Every structure is written in structure tokens, then in C-alpha cells.
A and B are shown apart, each in its own frame.
Chain A
Amino acid sequence: MAASVLAPARPREVRAAVERPPVRRRPARRAGGDGAAVFNHRILPYLLVLPQLAVVGVFFLWPTVRATTEAFERSNAFGLGTRFSGLSNFVSALTNGNYTQAIEVSLIFAASTTFLAMAIGLFLAAEVEQLGRARAVYRTLFIWTYAVPGAIAGALWLFLFQPELGPGARFLGLLGIKWNFALHGAQALSLVIALTVWQQSAYNFLFFTAALQGVPVAVHEAAAIDGAGPLDRFWRITFPLLSPTTFFLSVMDLLYALFSSFAVIDVVTQGGPAGATTTLVYQLYEDGFQNADSGLAGAETIVLIGIAALLTVAQFRLLNRRVHYR
């Protein structure tokens, strides 16, 4: 039943006909003469994209080139005595217990925040969708946390969960949990995961809410008439129809967890205790900026970009097949 509902609405030929015309019209325009006048300049288009190219060049390409060259060099902290060192920076990164621990922490952190933030975002969006007038109020409240900058959210949670002093810590103490994330690695990691999920689920909520607006009511009604219960309708109709959004969010959340988790970690745990919350990005910051080892940091940058690229490609390969674009 679900399959017939989800079949493409338009026959292939129709779609092709709609998409093709611009290609055909173009030579006709040029023959008329007036079309050519619109875009006769050879330099103007480049000038127009120049600001964007400059931004990409200065803030992306140039640093990437620098990081890549520094990854194969070795110098002292002050940048003196630079010499080519082959792959030794990569070897010392990958054989360092810290770095392998950071890879592990990053994967746990990224997988759990992505899964939890998406699950909570979807659950709340689906629930709010069923409300009547109160919908607008709940939507505002659930999106709110996304407006709190990471550093401020971190300071807030730090205050709440300060060992012995924070109200959250005292509450956990009443439940019999000896809370001290300054010493216990698992507690520290759960804290930063919870904080990131608290923030990211709002982002996911926003996108799922938007996507839910596009699920046709008629399909739901037809399924209801056929006797499908609410849960059945959700998993068999709504969820597959949301798949483009789900896929998009899984990529965005994963990249967020890998790259943008810095502020939260820096404010709350500084990567500690004993590296329990040191993600790859945080390790990079410690080695590059605190320990002033630009060669090692360069090598770690390349490894991090490699890991992110691999994960994203894997997501596109594995998940994209199951995504249904209408």
C-alpha cells in the first residue's frame, strides 16, 4: 500500500519536457541579437564573483595550503629552524595515545549527539504538529535553545553542574550519583553530549517542523481509512516522506559535532579530565595553539578533514539510496 502511495506522481517524459526548454531557447536568443548584449563582458562575471572567491581564498584555500605545508615540516615553538620532516608529524599524531583517544571520543560524541538530537527534534516536531492553538507557543519555546550561543550555554550549564555547588549537581547527589565531572571522564562526556543535544535538537526541530508541513494530509487520511494506526502512519508515511530532511540533518549534525563543538567543550571541560572530552578539534586547538606545535596541528588538520570527508561520503553512499526525493 505504501509503495503505491509513494510512487512518483509525474511520468518521466513530462518531467523531462519541463526541464529541457531553457537549453533549446538559448541559441534562438543569441540569433535575435538582444540576448548577446546582456552578457557580452568577459571580465565582469569574474569581477562579480571576485568577493566570494577572495573570501574562499583567504579564509579557506590559503589556510589549507599553509596547514598542508606545515604538516610536512618541523620547527621549534617560535617557528624557527623550520625543516622538511616527511611524514613524521603524521606518525607522531597517529602513534600518540592522546590522538587515538581523541578519535574515539569524537566518534562517540558525534554519533550520540547526532542520533539523540535528531530523535528528540523529530519527536518534538511530530508531537507539536498535532497540537491546536498552542502550536506556535511550543514551536517558539523549542527553537529557543538554538538562539543561545554555545559559549553562553556552556557557562550556564557549568553553573548548573558545578561539582558540589551547582543545583544540578545537588539534584544528582540526591539521586545517589556522586557527581564530579572535573574528575570523572564519563560524567564529563555525558555533560557535553547532553549540552550539545540540548542545543542541536532545536535546530533539528526547526527543520523537521518545516518538513512536516510538506506531508500531504490526503495520504494520511487515505491510510487512516485503510485502518492504519497513528504509529503505523508515522513510520510508514511520514518518516519516509521526511527522508530528504533526515538525511540533510544527519550530515549537518555530524559535521557540527566534528567541527563546531569547540566552544561548548572549551567553556565546560577544556577537554578534560584526562582527555575524556578532547575531540579531534579540541586536540587540534591544544596542539596548535596551546602547545604551539604547528607541524603536528597541520597533520591533525589533514587527518580531521579526511575523516570528515570519509564519513560524509559514506553517508551519501549508504543513506542516500534510501532517501526518497519527491
Chain B
Amino acid sequence: MSPYRSDPRNGRSVRALSRSAAAVVSGAVMLSASLAASPAYAATPPVTLNFWTAMSGANGAALDHLVNEFNNSQHAYKVVATYKGSYTTVLSDTIAAFRAHNQPNIAQIFDAGTATIMDANGVYEPIHSLMAEYNLPFSTSDFIGGAASYYETAADQLDSLPFNSSTPVLYYNKKLLAKAGIAGPPSTWDQFYSDAKALTAHGVGCSLTSSGAYVMWTDMEEFDMWNGYEFATQDNGYDSITGVKLMLDTPALVAHWSMLGQLGQKDEYLWNGTTNTTVPLFSGGTCAMYEQSSADLATITAAAKFPFGVAPLPTVNGDRNAPQNTVVGGASLWVLSGEPSGTYQGDAEFLHFLMSGPAQAYWASHTGYVAVSEAGVQVLSSENFYKSHPSDSVATKELTERPAKPYTRGIRLGYLPEIREVEASAISEILSGKETAAHALAAAQAQGDKILSEFASQYGG
């Protein structure tokens, strides 16, 4: 049972949501009102808008709720949300569908796919121009810093709507830490290392595990951002498509992965490939600490039978830049080109509804994602949500710890999903003891750079 479900405040936000949804789509409501006056109304079917998503479980249910809210608030459009599978499946299905001229109206494309679609001119309708075309108020500054910076273009415009956003945090098992006589979660990696020794000495075999599918995100991309290091040249790819090089073979990353590799040899750090979830390792009490997306809070709360806490990720000792800021992970919503002209106004209105304060407040309080629009943050603050949900405030604090540097706005690399696969291969070689961290990361960097230059040549750079 998630603590939010029983929260009586939710009742209020849902009602507030209905009111605002009606206001936000007033254009559509007026349209349907005028149609309702004519006898032909009953025969006018709403325009269907296909929306491909990667949301399942509790997140899927919350999204369905919002979609229904929008559909019931007006009669001109009907959004049909289809769960397509994982993020990578949505991306590859959208690409395949686009090539077959059978694309959805809106697709939920994850963080790592951003550059792949953003730089493909003619594939999508930039959301900022759609909003302007249909006179819907929209500005990059409507969104919280971390979400806006991750998805904005060089001209500070948003081509897609930042939507579900989270950031990695450190979950810790209070019972196991207490058993080893550790007062609180480690704030540095050195401290973590000595905590790991203490945990082993007190019979806790596994000190740490990381996200199964996205360890490359938690312990490479976000590790660099949080400690104020570059992940790739050209400000992580924000400045240029061509000439971008990865920065995996760096002293900080090599040291971090040497340490995890050393613990991994003794099963004190556990990770079993990108296809195996690591949630049970933490929620089942095997591992004392867990680096995972803040969005997984509901899942962990439901499964863990022990008191646990949420803390910011540890930092590298003695580095004056750390902690810098983390960036969002998750997805943004893209409106695809090549659809009948009558559908775009519906796309714009639906997306405008999703960024509204009440919709974002509902979304954040029913999932582990943060509210991405300032309006949503305001609604949540007015309901004292952050005081009763410290984990959300940890995520928000990490995202806004310091103003972002040019190279901590996000990761804007073409074919990043493919690069992450290369990184995952390196991680399995480090943890199985087949390669040293230095060697594996150097090889991954060389291979990743090839992918980047392939992207540059394909995208006409």
C-alpha cells in the first residue's frame, strides 16, 4: 500500500483537477457546446488521437486516469493511450511505424532517445510552435529547471513536452544499517566503502545494488552530473552533433567502477544484467542500499517489509564541485508529423492539459515522478505534499542543488540507447572480473565514439 493512496488530500486534488481540466480545454468545450446545439452533434464522432506509452502498473493507471479526465472534459477529441512496452520498445516501434507511415499522434520517448528524434527534422511538430499556433500559453520557464534543461533546444525552446521525470536517489534499509551500527546513509563514496566493510562484518553480505535496466544512468550519467563532471565533450552533445566524444575513461569513473567491481567480485555489490530487475534485492532485504530512480518509490514501499529511508546519492570525496545537480530521467511527449491536420489542435490541448497544475499534482502524488511544471509544484506545495513526502523533496533537492553548469543540463547524445548497451557490456565485464574497470571503460568509450560518429554522419552533420 503506497502511503499516498490513503492520503485524504488526494480527493481534493482530483476535484480541483476536474475543474481545471474543464478550464484548460475551454476551447474544445465551447466547440462541443456549439455542436451540442445542433442536431448533428450526436452523429459527430470525436477525432481519435493515438498515444503510445511505456507506462504500466501504477504509473499506467495514473496516466489512464489523466487520459480519461481529458476525454470526459470535452467531446472533440478522444485520446487512446496504448501501452507498447519498455521505453526502448516505444522508441523502436515509433521509428518503425514512422517509416511505414503508420505513426501514432503522440509518442512517449525516453530521455536517452531525445537526440535521436530531436535531430530528425520532419519527424515531429515542435511543441512550442504547436502551442503558439493554437494560442495556448506555453513557455520553457513554465517547467522546473532540471526538466526544462534536459529537453530544451539550443535556442531554449521545447520541442517536446517534458512529462514523467525522476532522478536517482539512494534508498537505505534502516534496519540493516542499524544492525551494523551505522548512524545514517553515507554522504560520500569513501564513507559508503567503509560502511560496506562494517555491513559485511555484521553479516550483511550485500551492501549495494543499482537499477537493473538503468545502472548506466545511475552510476555513469548521473554520477558525472551529481559530481560536476562532463559525460561527453561539446557539453554532453548540447553544442554539436559532430565531433562529440564520450568521457567514460576518466579517473573518477574508473575509480568508482573499480570500487564497485571489487565489491562485485565478493557479491557485496549486486547487479545481474539489464534484463533482471534489482528491486527484489533491496525490498527483500538482501542488499542494504539501493541506487534507483525516485519513481520506484511506490513499488519499493509496496514490497519492503522494513523501515527504509531516502537520501541523496553519495558524492566523490574532496571534490569541490560535488554535489552539483542531477538531471531528470524519464520521458517527454512528442507530436509526430504526417498526421491529418485536424488532429494537431487536439494534441496541443491534450498536452496543455497534462502540464496543468492539477494534472501534474495528481501525477506526482500517484507515482514517484516529480511535478515538472511550476504550476504543479505550486499545487503540491499548497497541499504541504513535500513535507509529508520527504523522498520527493530529496529528488527535487538533487535536481536543483546548484544552478546547472553548461555540461550538467542533461545528456544529448545521438543513439544514446545503443551507447548504454555498450556501457552495460562493460559493466558486466567489470563485475564478472573479466576486465579491469580502466580497460573496460576505455573499450566502451572507443566503441561509443564510433556510434556517435555514425550518428553524426547519418544525421548529415
Q: Which of B88, B275, B458 contacts A76 (CB 8 A)?
A: B458
Smallest CB separation, B417 vs chain A (Å): 8
Q: Are A274's CB and B425's CB within 8 A? A: yes
Which partner residue on chain A sits nearest B123 by CB separation? A78
Residues of B within 8 Å of A293, CB to CB, are: 454, 458
Q: Are B272's CB and A183's CB within 8 A? A: yes
Q: Are B273's CB and A273's CB within 8 A? A: yes
B263 at the interface (CB under 8 A from A): no
Residues of B within 8 Å of A289, CB to CB, are: 92, 96
B120 at the interface (CB under 8 A from A): yes
Given contacts A92-B454, A185-B434, contact A77 B95 (CB under 8 A): yes
Q: Are A76's CB and B120's CB within 8 A? A: yes
Which partner residue on chain A sits nearest B418 by CB separation? A291
Q: Are A274's CB and B428's CB within 8 A? A: yes
Residues of A within 8 Å of B459, CB to CB, are: 76, 81
Residues of B within 8 Å of A292, CB to CB, are: 92, 95-96
Residues of A within 8 Å of B117, CB to CB, are: 78
Q: Which of A77, A79, A81, A274 contacts B429 (CB 8 A)?
A: A274
Q: How far is the CA of A75 from the CA of B116 in the complex (A)?
A: 12
Q: Are B98's CB and A183's CB within 8 A? A: no
Flag B416-459 by CB within 8 Å of A: 1 or 0 each.
Answer: 01100100111011011010000000000001001000100111
Residues of B within 8 Å of A185, CB to CB, are: 432, 434
B6 at the interface (CB under 8 A from A): no
Residues of B within 8 Å of A97, CB to CB, are: 447
Which partner residue on chain A sits nearest B429 by CB separation? A274
A244 at the interface (CB under 8 A from B): no
Residues of B within 8 Å of A77, CB to CB, are: 95, 116, 120, 415, 458
Smallest CB separation, A137 vs chain B (Å): 39
Q: Are A272's CB and B450's CB within 8 A? A: no
Residues of B within 8 Å of A76, CB to CB, are: 119-120, 458-460
Residues of A within 8 Å of B122, CB to CB, are: 80
Smallest CB separation, B34 vs chain A (Å): 39
A112 at the interface (CB under 8 A from B): no
Residues of B within 8 Å of A121, CB to CB, are: none
Flag B274-304 by CB within 8 Å of A: 1 or 0 each.
Answer: 1110000000000000000000000000000
B99 at the interface (CB under 8 A from A): yes
Smallest CB separation, B209 vs chain A (Å): 12
Q: Are A183's CB and B95's CB within 8 A? A: no
| Contact residues, B132-152 vs A (CB, 8 A) | none
Q: Which of A74, A183, A275, A286 contacts B432 (CB 8 A)?
A: A183
A168 at the interface (CB under 8 A from B): no
Given contacts A76-B458, A272-B274, contact A291 B123 (CB under 8 A): no
Q: How far is the CA of A275 from the CA of B273 in the complex (A)?
A: 12
A184 at the interface (CB under 8 A from B): yes
Smallest CB separation, A79 vs chain B (Å): 4
Given contacts A80-B123, A183-B432, contact A275 B272 (CB under 8 A): no
Residues of A within 8 Å of B424, CB to CB, are: 272
Which partner residue on chain A sits nearest B447 by CB separation? A97
| Contact residues, B242-288 vs A (CB, 8 A) | 272-276
| Contact residues, B89-115 vs A (CB, 8 A) | 92, 95-96, 98-99
Smallest CB separation, A136 vs chain B (Å): 41
Q: How far is the CA of A241 from the CA of B99 in the complex (A)?
A: 54
Q: How far is the CA of A76 from the CA of B460 in the complex (A)?
A: 8
Residues of A within 8 Å of B450, CB to CB, are: 92, 96
Residues of B within 8 Å of A243, CB to CB, are: none
Which partner residue on chain B sits nearest A291 by CB separation? B418
Smallest CB separation, A268 vs chain B (Å): 10
| Contact residues, A254-302 vs B (CB, 8 A) | 270, 272-275, 286, 289-293
A240 at the interface (CB under 8 A from B): no
Q: How far is the CA of A297 from the CA of B447 in the complex (A)?
A: 18
A65 at the interface (CB under 8 A from B): no
Q: How far is the CA of A182 from the CA of B274 in the complex (A)?
A: 9
Given A98-B447, A272-B425, output 12 extra A-B contacts at Cβ < 8 Å: A77-B116, A78-B95, A79-B98, A79-B99, A163-B276, A180-B272, A270-B275, A273-B428, A274-B425, A274-B429, A290-B88, A290-B418
| A-B interface, 4 closest residue pairs, ranked by CB to CB distance from nearest | A182-B273, A273-B428, A274-B425, A182-B272
Please, could you name 5 A-B residue pairs with CB atoms under 8 Å apart, sorted by A?
Answer: A76-B119, A183-B272, A274-B434, A275-B425, A293-B458
Residues of A within 8 A of B (CB): 74-81, 92, 96-98, 163, 180, 182-185, 270, 272-275, 286, 289-293
